[in-house]
Amino acid sequence: MRVWDGINRYLAFKLKDLEFRVHTWKRSREISRAYDTPSTRRQRAVSADYYTFKLRAVAVAKVFGVILVLFLLGFGVVKLASLVSSASTAGVVKGVDGSEVFAGGAGEDGDARLPEPLPPEVSEEAGLPEAAVLPEGYASAAPADTVAVPAVAAPPVGPPPASTGRLVEAFRRGVPQGTSNMLILVDKAAKVMYMLRAAPDGLEVARAFTVATGEKEGRKVVEGDKKTPQGVYFIVGRKHRSELTNLYGPAAFILDYPNAQDRHERRTGHGIWIHGSERGNIQPLFTQGCVATSNPDILEFAAILGREWIGTPVVIVSGEEEARAHLASVDFAAMKARRGEVLAQYNERQAEFEKLVTDWAAAWSSRNIETYSSFYLTSSFREGTASWEAFRDRKSRLFNAYSAIYVDLSNIMLTEYTDNAATVKFNQVYNTNVGNRMENAKRLIFRKDQGNWKIYREIPFPKEELL
């Protein structure tokens, strides 16, 4: 308001000044006419026309200058508001035990540590149209790990380049039978990621994708060194579009870096992903440590993996010039054992959370507010800007308003977990005795509180994402 008042005062002053100048000029002209000869009168008429033109030109220039200043001020305010909005959601989420956890974005090396996005202002009872798409970018934009350029169509990736043939052939024939149905091989030097799947004579190349890796060459050693790790890792989590900013494209797969060997050798960092790109149909130029590809490619990558993504081994090597050395450096017996551990742990937790979510839905259907409330982390749960108390009051009123509530769940899937945090996604059909029906997908984020899992966030999103 102070800026606007200042502009108004400035314009008023300039208009008064212009009015005074014109009045003074008219008076001087009237006085001069009494003493003018015909020749001087003509000269003064020319001068007066020029002076009038000059005054008008100056006035027009000043008006346009003010309009330009107002436009720049408005643009600056909008930009500043956007930056403040992004910054307000950035940071590290603290678990209930005070430890740092990441649930909304990649880690520092992969390439941003983001908090879990807050749920939109949408309630199940209000209904969510099937075709509705919730706003993207709940979490703040992270420091870019790519350079944005206009998206253009990328040429399809053909057969493995001849220069990397030895590396692919070594792994295709050298991986023992039964190690894994699918193996991802990333060649950092050639910038190619191969999807190898089991075949009668070893492994076959299901697909090859052009990728980007860390901005700096070499093996990752310390957090923030902008290098991609090397070694054997496993996919342990998956994120969908509504959990990601545009920087990471429509899908991302979380790797278990640092692994046991990295920790033993004191390599640091976190949050290494395989993800998409803000560049649309072309892969990024480089990353802060992740493996990134174009958005169509990451969706194809996800489709090939299907629901069997958990525990998929990812071998990252530095180039094909050491093909035999790379193959020899992989302990396939240890890989198979570690994969078995990852799958066993996941299946155990999947069963645990499937039961927990099913019991939560049953409590919802029972319309018993006390039983229903026991599933929530009441000390820190919120729905949008609403507190737990407001959320509970609304639910209680709805429980009293309907004589029956039906909540049916399907496709329950644990997509991310740590010792103190977990994310579960599923399809949900909500219905009442008066036919208030809604079908959508939902994401429940759990935190551990005194040894028990409690719902920390509840976020609906379009069901198409889980397809």
Q: What per-residue confidence (pLDDT) applies to 465? A: 85
pLDDT tens per residue, range 51-77: 556 566 666 676 677 677 676 676 565
What pLDDT score does 224 carry? 92
Query: Is residue 18 domain-resident?
Result: yes
Tell me the average pLDDT across 420-446: 95
Q: How confident is the model at residue 32 (pLDDT cuts 50, 70, 90)?
A: low
Does residue 456 contact residue 104 with C-beta atoms inside 8 Å?
no
**Above 80 in pLDDT, residue 361?**
yes
Q: Please tell me which of 1-15, 115-129, 448-462 the model is most confident about, judged by mean pLDDT.
A: 448-462
Query: For 327-345, how does the pLDDT look when each residue is reduced to its tens digit (9 = 90+)?
Result: 888 999 999 999 999 999 9
pLDDT at 173: 87
Work out the pLDDT band at 15, boundaries 50, 70, 90: low
Whether 151 and 279 have beta carbons less than 8 Å apart is answered as yes
List pLDDT tens digits, range 209-226.
Answer: 999 999 999 999 999 999
What confidence score (pLDDT) does residue 259 get? 94
Question: What is the domain count for the chain?
Answer: 3
Phi, psi of 138, rounded to the nearest 5 degrees: -60, -40
pLDDT above 70 covers a percentage of the chain that reads 65
Cα dihedral angle (339, 342, 344, 349), rounded to 10 degrees? -160
User: 323 lies in a domain?
Assistant: yes
**In this structure, are 402 and 453 located in the same domain?**
yes
Q: Is the pLDDT of residue 87 over 70?
A: no
Do 284 and 240 belong together in one domain?
yes
* Burial category of 131 from C-beta neighbours within 10 Å (exposed 0-12, middle 13-18, buried 19 and up): exposed
Query: Looking at the predicted structure, is the pLDDT value of residue 205 above 80?
Result: yes
> Of 278, 308, 342, which one is at a domain's C-terminal end?
342
Do residue 172 and residue 318 come from a single domain?
Answer: yes
- Minimum mean pLDDT among 85-99, 301-315, 438-452: which range? 85-99
Q: Which of 151, 150, 121 is nearest to 138 (CA)?
A: 121
Q: Give start and end residues of each alpha helix (H) in 90-181.
A: 165-174
pLDDT at 319: 79
Residue 285 shares a structural domain with residue 378: no
Question: What per-residue confidence (pLDDT) applies to 269?
Answer: 92
CATH number for the domain spanning 265: value is 2.40.440.10
**170 assigned to some structural domain:** yes
Domain boundary residue, one of 88, 109, 143: 88
141 occurs within a structural domain: no
- Which residues does residue 445 pair with via DSSP β-bridges, in sequence order? 423, 457
What percentage of the chain carries pLDDT values higher than 90?
A: 54
Query: Do both 181 and 33 map to the same domain?
Result: no
Q: Are residues 70 and 212 in the same domain?
A: no
Structural domain span for residue 79: 2-88
Q: Facing residues of 209 across strands?
A: 193
pLDDT digits (tens, 9 = 90+) for 151-163: 333 434 444 444 4
* pLDDT confidence tier of residue 447, bands split at 50, 70 and 90: very high
Mean pLDDT in residue range 339-352 = 96
In the predicted structure, residue 6 carries a pLDDT above the cut 70: no
Average pLDDT, the chain: 77
pLDDT level of residue 257 (50, 70, 90 thresholds): very high
Taking a C-beta distance cutoff of 8 angstroms, is the pair 414, 314 a contact? Answer: no
Cis preceding-peptide flag for 258 (omega within 30 of 0)? yes
CA 101 to chain centre: 16
Say whether pLDDT at 362 is over 90: yes
Q: Is the domain of 290 the same as that of 354?
A: no
CA distance 208 to 185: 9
The encoded tokens of residue 180 equal: 């894994």
Say whether both 379 and 458 belong to one domain. yes
Final residue in a domain of this structure, among 342, 368, 391? 342
Helices 38-89 and 2-33, packing angle to 10 deg: 180
pLDDT band at 316 (very low <50, low <70, confident <90, very high): very high
Let me know whether 334 and 373 are in one domain. no
Q: Are residues 315 and 362 in the same domain?
A: no
Q: Is residue 147 part of a domain?
A: no
The answer, yes or no, to whether residue 251 has pLDDT greater than 70, is yes
338 and 394 both lie in a single domain: no
Examine residue 136 and state whether it is found in any structural domain, yes or no. no
Contacts of 193 (CB under 8 A, 6+ apart): 184, 185, 186, 187, 208, 209, 210, 211, 274, 291, 293, 301
In single-letter form, the type of residue at position 449 comes to: D
- What is the structure's pLDDT at 147? 31
CATH number of the domain residue 418 falls in: 3.10.450.50
> Which of 257, 253, 234, 231 has the alpha carbon at shortest distance from 340?
234
> Could you tell me where the beta strands, DSSP code E, fall in 166-272?
182-187, 192-199, 202-210, 231-240, 251-255
Task: Check: CB of residue 428 under 8 Å from CB of residue 414.
Answer: no
pLDDT at 84: 42
pLDDT digits (tens, 9 = 90+) for 91-145: 333 333 333 333 334 433 443 333 333 333 334 443 332 222 322 222 323 323 3
Q: Tokens 């980007």, residue?
A: 212
Q: How far apart are CA 276 and CA 252, in angstroms?
A: 7
Q: Is residue 100 part of a domain?
A: no
3-state secondary structure of 143: coil
**Across 421-431, average pLDDT:** 96
Is residue 254 in some structural domain?
Answer: yes
Query: What's the gap between Cα 135 and its chain centre?
Result: 11
Residues 255, 330 within the same domain: yes
Q: Give me the pLDDT at residue 312, please.
A: 97
